[in-house]
Structure 1
């Protein structure tokens, strides 16, 4: 702001000028204050930004061509050709990208931005993802969040730390692996012998409720919770079935789980007396471009950009895989995960989508409401 030179004038005029200057300062600082909102991320590979790089695990994305379209053009541990869901949400809310909690770079003032605790391969249940050797299961993610809060308190003091944690935005992405890498894991899983799909879904919802209540106890007051996408339509499932059609069992499981999730979150909000939990309908968000890829500029929503075998849906994306030359023409990056372009379409609905996609409100509405409190 340019310096003001006050000439001889009355005290009342001086007060008016000072008030104008003060109001201008507030207006200048307002976007910075909004951008300072912390962001915390919990969940699986759809939102892991590199924590698994620091683990002994087979669930990792730390080799080319992962990251080919990231600003550094190098793999980062994100299961994407470029930016992932938390990165793009950070862009939209005017924040820096949050670092993985295990990153040695997450120190000092970087703690004020938030942290990503997600770990590829995990689920709602502790026995989900055991085939990946080491992963950070959800309650361990919460333990790390408590450790983060201790570090934050040491940096800024308890009152300011509590304010930052309570005022932050949270993202929770869980559930898909409990079906794909647990219940429907070939040739047979223990869970599928214990439960029918509807019974298993109810069990998941009961356990997910405990997880979300624990996150509330830890200070979360605004949490985006994503439902499962069209699990049966990812390239890995098309490759497995070989008939060019989405797997009906997995699609049916998602159709059972997602409405139960919405109902559970609504009941939780009623119990807590506030719209703490907001559902992102990932199924319909992805179904839009899966059912009509050309409408969104894709040439295919069946074949992955990176992979091998039918639909490039076999095995892992690695340096020996087939690789498409233009990632913007593909809805799926690898056998399971969307491209950055597809993820941007998802975030657009998270930001401004109708109640078909966001319940009870979208993120733009949340940001507007919270800026007034």
Structure 2
């Protein structure tokens, strides 16, 4: 009888040790738009979906996964760096039990900082709803491991948030004389977006996160869709570039302000994805690309007209194209971006790169 009790005690102790180790692994949470959505929109009645071939052609299954990519997207590659499994979409029925402790992806293609961005896609998870799901997630995890362990998991986690591009492309510039363009000039619209974004980032902090990686927009006027609409010889669309060039420095200023306000040197980290993209847009050959203007998958000028579908032309080698479709980078380009996020200088990462942030915030382990 005593032997059975000791054996049971050891078994329970062992399970508790495993649970502690699971909780103390760094969780990863993702918020934002199609650049980081890994399949939430598959579960929604929306046109903003990437659930049909040739999307996912280079994924492990060679099937569409809901990612707007030929293969892996930026969160997947960051998960590789963290030596963790890719986060599951929050709406996935597979996200339950111990898999919750890895983190979750709340992103939804089509969303922006503003609630009226993406209305044409109807049923998407707007950013404040994503934050609401994050609160729900924490309640689910607390039921699994308890409130204190949940608080620890969230505080030690890494967060990635990517917003802003759709507020320009699919809101301000979507149609001539759009509502927002009648309300604001671009120099006035950008501070308005930054003010609204501040509320989102402050809420993330209030929800307990302390390592929040905030990406800027890419060079909006240089994507194949905009080249097809506005470019004669492949030059980037000037108004969209003006928007990106105003937005990204102001976002970095916001990051500095938030870190100062919260008395935290690196709770918020700005990733200058505009500069990262421009490196291989301006000199694609230096990065192994044959073009940074023509999308791999699409039709029309620069393969930038319409959607990437089974009827589109698809390049045979995705690694030599900077853009997979009319708006989204190829997996190869995503890997170059993450390389700069992890190791880049202050030109790309402010106040420091991801490897430095994680080294300064090690996971505490119990013995």
User: Could you state the TM-score of these two structures normalised by the residue count of structure 1?
Assistant: 0.90
Other-structure match for 2:252: 262
Other-structure match for 2:68: 79
1:91 equivalenced with 2:91 (yes/no):
no
Other-structure match for 1:286: 277
SS of 2:270's equivalent in the other structure is: strand
Q: Equivalent residues in 2 for 1:18-97 (5 A)?
A: 36-97=25-86
Q: 32-41 or 104-113: which moved more?
A: 32-41
Other-structure match for 1:19: none
Measure the CA separation in 2 of the matches of 1:257 and 1:161: 35
Please point out which of 89, 101, 104 is paired with 2:90.
101
Distance 1:104 1:34, change over 3 A: closer
Other-structure match for 1:340: 331
1:210 equivalenced with 2:199 (yes/no):
yes
- Following TM superposition, by how much is the alpha carbon of 1:372 offset from its aligned partner in structure 2, in angstroms? 6.9
For residues 205-237 of structure 1, give each alpha carbon's deviation from its aligned partner in whole angstroms, at most 9, with x where no partner exists: 000000000111111100000011100000000
- Following TM superposition, by how much is the alpha carbon of 1:181 offset from its aligned partner in structure 2, in angstroms? 0.5
Unaligned runs of 5+ in 1: 1-28
Contact 1:235–1:313 (Cα < 8 Å) also in 2: yes
- Following TM superposition, by how much is the alpha carbon of 1:199 offset from its aligned partner in structure 2, in angstroms? 0.6
SS of 1:371's equivalent in the other structure is: coil
Contact 1:34–1:94 (Cα < 8 Å) also in 2: no
- Following TM superposition, by how much is the alpha carbon of 1:34 offset from its aligned partner in structure 2, in angstroms? 11
Contact 2:110–2:166 (Cα < 8 Å) also in 1: yes
SS of 2:361's equivalent in the other structure is: helix
Which stretches of structure 1, 4 residues or longer, exceed 4 Å deviation after superposition? 32-35
Other-structure match for 2:107: 118
Aligned residues: 343
Measure the CA separation in 1 of the matches of 2:189 and 2:181: 8
1:173 equivalenced with 2:159 (yes/no):
no
Bigger radius of gyration, 1 or 2? 1
Other-structure match for 2:243: 253
User: Could you state the TM-score of these two structures normalised by the residue count of structure 2?
Assistant: 0.92
Measure the CA separation in 2 of the matches of 1:183 and 1:82: 30
Contact 2:77–2:335 (Cα < 8 Å) also in 1: yes
- Following TM superposition, by how much is the alpha carbon of 1:242 offset from its aligned partner in structure 2, in angstroms? 3.6
Other-structure match for 1:313: 304
Contact 1:293–1:300 (Cα < 8 Å) also in 2: yes
Contact 2:24–2:363 (Cα < 8 Å) also in 1: no
For residues 336-361 of structure 1, give each alpha carbon's deviation from its aligned partner in whole angstroms, at most 9, with x where no partner exists: 00000000000000000000000000
Contact 2:159–2:211 (Cα < 8 Å) also in 1: yes
Q: Equivalent residues in 2 for 1:295-306 (5 A)?
A: 295-306=286-297
Other-structure match for 2:132: 143
Contact 1:235–1:312 (Cα < 8 Å) also in 2: yes
